[in-house]
Structures are given as C-alpha cells and as structure tokens.
Amino acid sequence: MRQKKKILFSIFISLIFLFLSGFSFFNRSEDKQKVEIEFFNQKSEIAEGLRHAGKSFEKEHPNVKVTITTVTSRDGGAALLSKFISGNAPTMMMLGGLPDIDFYKDYLLEMSDLKLTDEMLPQLLGAGTLDDEILALPMGIEGFGFMYNKEIFAKAGIDPKKIQNFADFKQVVETLDDKKEELGLAEVFAYEGEDENVANHFFANFAASEFDDDNNVAFNAKELNWKNGDRMKEYTDLINQHTVQPVVTMTNPHSVEDLFFNDEVAMIHQGNWIVPALDDMDPSFVQEKLGISSFAHQIR
C-alpha cells in the first residue's frame, strides 16, 4: 500500500517547478495542534523567498512551524537521501523530475483530488505525473538559454531578434570575436563546465524535441536517436572555440559574477535563476543589460 505522507515538487528538463508560497493547499482548520513542516529546497537562489513565505504562513497559522532546509542541487540528492535513511524525511521537497519521482514514489502524496490541480495547465502537470497519478505540482516556471549583454550586442551592431538559425548565431559569435579588443572582451563566452547542471540544460535544448517536449515520453523512452546530435556538436565546438578556458574548471561565480557581470564576456548559457545574484551586486544590470535568447528557433 502506498505510504501517502509526503508532497513533492519537481524539476523537469526545460521547466523548473518551484515552491508555492502561501501553502494554499493546506486545510485552514481551527485545529490548534502544533504542526511542524520542513520543506527541502535545492535552489539556493530562492531560499530567502521561501523563508519569507514560511514566516508569512506561520503568522496566518500560529500552530504551524515552517522550516526551510536548503542544499544546492549538486549535493541535494545525496542530502535528501540521507534524511530518508536516517528517518528524518522532510514533509515537502523539491526533486529533479520523473526519475526522482519514481525513486521516491512510495512516500509521495497522490494529489489528483486537490483543488489546486484544477488551476494548473494540463501540459505542465505531466512533469509530476507517474502511472496516471499526480505526485508533484508545478509551482512556477523558469527559462534558460543564452544570456547575453544587451549593451555589448548594441555596441557590436548585433540585433538578437535576427538570430533565426545556427548560421545567424555563428555569425554573431564571429562578429563578437572580431571585435573583442574594441569591446573589451576576454572571450565571447564564459561557459560553466564545472557544474554538470549547465551541461544538462544545454543538452535539453537538443534532446527535448525528439520526445515532443513531453516529460513522460522522454522518461519512458528506450533509446535516444540523437536527432539533433550533429547540430549540438556544431554549437558545442563553436562555444568551445570562443569561451574562456579551461571550461572544466569554470565555476558559476567566475562565469556569472566576475566575467559576465563585469562585461568581460558577451554570453553565458544560464537561466533566469542568476537574476538574484546579479541583483545583489547591481540591480541595474538586469534591468539595462540582461537579455536572453532561446534555442527554440535555432535547432535547424
């Protein structure tokens, strides 16, 4: 019998599902029994927001104590497993997609009957659905792609809206490379190779369409035909040729907070999760300089 005692939040390849502030799915009863809720978070950039949400919920529900435990995604999987092994499993958690849902399915609450599911876009619920059971809810969406410096692009005479395919993108990279000295660039890119999550996101750009951008189709697939493998290699070779080296030791702080923030590179492959770090240094950077270009129209 399924042990329905935990609630899951999931992260899929191309959509990242975040925590819902306010816990609106809790029953607003008058029961004054003391309740402790631990939320296991794997995204450090939203930890402060989660703590704020928890405090707000505690004010509305004095009998509830909310604890936010944050371990970054690199170590989060091992840390979460250790909590289960030690008998200290969290009440709620953020996991890494259908493989993790499958691993923890015996502990997850089936949520099909929750009214909140009626407010979700059906195509997003699939990321948390396993064997026709809704075991996770999407709470927010993040996007990723090439983050670029709009001021540098403008100085180089580049209109990002005109990037329609790989040939256009390659021309942009070559233009930036030709003008590196004029633009004060160390390189065109600062690709972060030290964190495998960046490579996972990069790979997803080319793999998702092979499975019709469907989480369950990808999860149940028996093979990968590498439909876009040649195109992925072209992008990889181009980036590797024009990125700050060595790639394998390029960290997130050096890529985002040093090179990109200080206008020493024009592009990085990241997502909107870098915004909090940039805002902490200078909010005007995001407002005036940060742009994002997706791969959606370029995989051809």
Q: Give per-residue pLDDT as tens, 46-62.
A: 889 899 999 999 999 99
Band of residue 11 on the pLDDT scale cut at 50, 70, 90: very low
Q: Say if strands 290-293 and 267-271 run parallel, antiparallel, or are unpaired.
A: unpaired
Say if residue 287's pLDDT is above 60. Answer: yes
Q: According to the model, what pLDDT value does residue 282 have?
A: 96
- Report the CATH number that the domain containing residue 123 is assigned in CATH: 3.40.190.10
| pLDDT tens digits, 160-173 | 999 989 999 999 99
**Domain span at 73:** 7-134
> CB within 8 A of 26, min separation 6: which ones?
61
Q: Report the alpha-carbon distance of residue 197 to residue 97 in Å, rounded.
A: 13
| pLDDT tens digits, 205-248 | 898 889 988 888 988 999 999 889 999 999 999 999 999 999 99
Q: According to the model, what pLDDT value does residue 58 have?
A: 95
Say if residue 64's pLDDT is above 50. Answer: yes
Band of residue 149 on the pLDDT scale cut at 50, 70, 90: very high
Q: Report the alpha-carbon distance of residue 209 to residue 156 in Å, rounded.
A: 32
Average pLDDT in the chain: 86
**pTM above the 0.95 mark?**
no
Q: Are residues 24 and 52 in the same domain?
A: yes
Question: Looking at the DSSP assignment, which residues form a beta bridge with residue 189?
Answer: 243, 267
Q: Are residues 46 and 165 in the same domain?
A: no
Q: Report, as an integer, the average pLDDT of 266-272.
A: 94
* Domains held by the chain: number: 2
Of the residues 134, 165, 190, which one is the last residue of a structural domain? 134
Cα dihedral 147/152/158/160 (nearest 10): 20
> What is the percentage of the chain residues whose pLDDT exceeds 70?
86
Q: Are residues 104 and 170 in the same domain?
A: no
- Within 13 Å, how many C-alpha atoms sit on residue 8's CB side? 32
Q: Are residues 150 and 218 in the same domain?
A: yes
Query: Is 155 within a domain?
Result: yes
Q: Are residues 126 and 160 in the same domain?
A: no
Query: Is 300 within a domain?
Result: no
Q: According to the model, what pLDDT value does residue 295 have?
A: 66
What DSSP string describes 153-209? Answer: HHHTT--GGG--SHHHHHHHHHHHHHTHHHHT-S-SB----SSHHHHHHHHHHHHGG
Q: According to the model, what pLDDT value does residue 96 have?
A: 79
Q: Are residues 41 and 175 in the same domain?
A: no
| pLDDT tens digits, 104-135 | 999 999 988 888 888 888 878 888 899 999 99
